[in-house]
Structure 1
């Protein structure tokens, strides 16, 4: 992966504009901004956010080329289109009484080098600072914040959810975004322990969707464990996940769908897998690893519409039989996720591998 180039403004540069932050969605894939850059919490219709309902917030990952794609500033959302299927994956969540949101940091995440985007989640003083990309391909710092994306996301979520009475918050993060979801969960936990946030904003479940971590220590992280070497991002995530488990008994799942961490730049973070519920999705109807990596997001959000998948075993004769337990999905009970966590088993998809609808999925429980 080549290093990102700084593209100076031309005489015809696009208007310098920066937008980021929390956006609430309805069941028709329409969205409204939850919090302004200055911290103002917007009053929005109940169809977008109802403080009496449980909430899930999703964090996207690396976004190379998104600012210049299409008409400019292309963003992910909850619509899934594949073949003849056209599904609004947020609808089942709304129908079941959830608030659902995206945290957008796409202009910061639009770097040609993944490690430059990764740094911005952790520090405002990484290799590229807090620069952001514009729709003409240039980069700017004119409106850059003086804090990391992780700090911004923590502040916005705790402000937007301050009046939440459901006492249930779930975070999910895809690829690089799994780090951001974990950073925010950790900061919320710390704030609750310090008395700076209410327990109503505590993260009750954390979902890591085909998580990615780059190799090697990062100078911008420092050396928190005092081993004489800069910390690395997967290490920091692992520490935070362990702390969430120790403090709050937080259910944590990791869904793996590609070989993204087998690349020379990625780290498998095997010690983390031993702490969480480890799930392997086999999207055999997709031919390439990039699509398999990205498809875990619509898979997860679509799975709320179905009952939890069946857990199965396979005997010596190759016959499958149900165990009577659920496997993991968005609709699986938190207590079941807690039962699945640890270094004893992982779950491998053995049915539903050729369909995009999670309804027909089965997962075989396997020993490490």
Structure 2
């Protein structure tokens, strides 16, 4: 049992491994966070209010990705982008199909705040600016510096609403990986509250939120009134569903749900269109790769027809599955479990079976 615990803890320390984007040294030597828009081939331009962006149109549907824990990424000058080869995925531009379909494609970065040796220290920054490490951030030399007085949730909300202020497209989809799923939920809650208060246009409320191998730590947190992060997320999601937000979730590894490391948050998964995705192309010790597979599998699946439920013409869940079908699955009483195609990385041979939740 001790060896199993150590294996999962060691795996968690390497979860930040992901594709390396080409960013100038200044991006890592100085504090940099917020929304970036992407074009083909991992080309990018940081979003800045009031400035034209080559990769953004206010009238297009939009997908925005939020990464998770980033231990060691500052020294390695790593930022997650849309080629996921270094994370065990295909050597492809996974934004290509989205861009071709007319989407704006973005990333909300908080990597220097998320660069902590202890995952719970990074997690706290999502919710509060006065947690165990406050809002310190890490630079390329590995040194920490004092950060702003706002939480990562507040900082990304500000970047989001400032840069999407004039948005008039058909809808926004948020993707949150690992710890980033908490940020996706917190951000959506802040947007919803602002819409209710009349300070943000209702067009900015995400239409759909995908939780990709989501992580929540165990135990109550003092900064949440001794509630668990997963518990608060359940409360938020329950409320957001009444506002019309669609939630889907995909589990690809044991790392985020083993009792020794994370809260599997079954209650929250049961509120979503939940799929258990098999990653048989990795062995049982490759939990980092399995964990990261949630991102590239979802992004890649947009280029394929929706998978089917084995033996039927009914659609299972994927990035290309229509909102209406995801809503039906979300509000149903069954989860999806990978049946065929779980030993190949390609998404187009996948099919699923329905099981009771």
Task: Give the TM-score, by structure 1 length.
Answer: 0.86
Partner of 1:266: 262
CA distance in 2, matches of 1:273, 1:121: 20
1:29-49: CA deviation from partner (whole Å, max 9, x where unpaired): 1111013xxxx443212xx10
Q: Give the alignment of 1:34-183 within 5 angstroms.
A: 34-35=47-48, 40-45=49-54, 48-69=55-76, 73-81=77-85, 85-141=90-146, 144-183=147-186
CA distance in 2, matches of 1:291, 1:79: 14
Q: Give the alignment of 1:1-368 within 5 angstroms.
A: 17-35=30-48, 40-45=49-54, 48-69=55-76, 73-81=77-85, 85-141=90-146, 144-222=147-225, 230-248=226-244, 250-260=245-255, 261-287=257-283, 288-312=286-310, 321-322=311-312, 324-342=313-331, 344-368=333-357
CA distance in 1, matches of 2:111, 2:84: 19
Judging by fraction of residues, say which structure has more helix.
2
Q: Does structure 1 conserve the Cα–Cα contact (< 8 Å) formed by 2:89 and 2:293? A: no
Partner of 1:8: none
Deviation of residue 137 (structure 1)? 1.5
Q: Does structure 2 conserve the Cα–Cα contact (< 8 Å) formed by 1:167 and 1:201? A: no
Judging by fraction of residues, say which structure has more strand.
1
Q: Does structure 2 conserve the Cα–Cα contact (< 8 Å) formed by 1:162 and 1:200? A: no
Number of residue pairs aligned between Structure 1 and Structure 2: 330
Instruction: Describe the SS at the equivalent of 1:267.
Output: coil
CA distance in 2, matches of 1:84, 1:163: 35
Deviation of residue 167 (structure 1)? 3.8
Deviation of residue 81 (structure 1)? 2.0
CA distance in 2, matches of 1:336, 1:239: 24
Deviation of residue 365 (structure 1)? 1.3
| Gap regions ≥5 residues in structure 1 | 5-14, 223-229, 313-320
| Gap regions ≥5 residues in structure 2 | 1-8, 14-27
What RMSD in Å do the two structures reach over aligned CA positions?
1.9
Q: Does structure 2 conserve the Cα–Cα contact (< 8 Å) formed by 1:274 and 1:343? A: no
Deviation of residue 84 (structure 1)? 10
Q: Does structure 1 conserve the Cα–Cα contact (< 8 Å) formed by 2:37 and 2:56? A: yes
CA distance in 1, matches of 2:301, 2:291: 17
